[in-house]
Structure formats: structure tokens, C-alpha cells
Amino acid sequence: MAQPIVLEKILNIREREKNEAQIKNNKATDYFEKVAKNLYYALKKKEQAEEGLHKCMQGKATITKIKEQSLYIDALNKKITTLQDQVQLARHEMEVTQAKLTNAHVEVKKVEKMIEKRKSDQLELEQNMEKIEMDEISIRQFMNQNR
């Protein structure tokens, strides 16, 4: 049976891995939030541009103004499509790093449980040895008294 001290070293390694996974997960989450915000702002701009186009259509506007507004909306649509792809990739990366973090956390817990079990087993063994010693001492004393 491995000593708890050996498992402590393994625990340190697992905790280091967990911390690294936590850092990667935080970075992936931050990147996802950044890209998602960019998408949100692009959608907001598109909405405002469409409202502007609608107002132009309602009132008196030149064809060039309407054409410019339509081209701007098309450019925003292309940007939005690109951002949506980036958001999907960032979301996937964030989910992967979250899964790795969860696995690392589970591994740390497993090692902690093993250490706890080994320590309790060792304590139980020591208590049993102590009981045996006490029994032997009692038997010797009894034998010495009967002589």
C-alpha cells in the first residue's frame, strides 16, 4: 500500500493541472464574451441601420442614400455571419476547456479521497497494533501475577 506522502505528491501534480485548466477555461470564457459582445454590437448597428433605411424609405430620400444604407446593411450582414462563426468556435472551445476543468477537478477529488482512505486505514492499523500490544502486556502481567 502506497504511503499517503506519495499520494500527496500526486495530489500536488493534479492540483497544478487543475489550476492550469482553470486558467485556460478563464481565457476561453473571456474570449467568448469578447466575441459575443462584438456580435451583439454588430447586431445592434444592423438594427439601427435598418431603422434608418426604413425612415429613409418613409420620407424623401435620394436613391444614392438608400443604396448606401443598403450596402452598409449588407456589409454588416457579412460581418455578423463571420462573428457568428467566431462565437460558435469560441463557445466550443469554452465547453472543451470546461470539460477539461471538470475532469481535472474530479481527478483531484479522487486523489484526495485516496489520501483520506489511506490515512484512515493507517490509523486503524496503528490502533489495532496498539490493541494487540496492550493485550500482550495484559497477558504478561497476568502471567507474572499468577507465578
State the pTM of this model. Answer: 0.75
Question: Nearest 5°: CA angle at 16, between 12 and 18?
Answer: 115
Taking only the tens place, the pLDDT of each residue in 73-85 is 999 999 999 999 9
Tell me which residue has cell 490493541: 131
Q: Which residue has the higher pLDDT, 1 or 69?
A: 69
Tell me: pLDDT of 6 over 90.
Answer: no
How many Å apart are CA 85 and CA 79, to the nearest integer? 10
- What pLDDT digit, counting tens, does each position of 64-74 carry? 888 888 899 99
Alpha helices in the chain (DSSP H): 4-58, 63-146
Contacts with 118 (C-beta within 8 Å, 6 or more apart), sequence order: 1, 2, 3, 4, 7
142-147 contacts at long range (C-beta below 8 A, 24 or more positions apart) = none
pLDDT tens-digit series, residues 7-52: 889 999 999 999 999 999 999 999 999 999 999 999 999 999 999 8
C-alpha cell at 139: 497477558
Mean pLDDT of the chain: 91
Domains of the chain: 4-114 (1.10.287.620)
Q: Return the pLDDT at 2.
A: 57
* Share of residues in the chain with pLDDT > 70 (%): 99
Residue 95 has pLDDT above 60, yes or no: yes
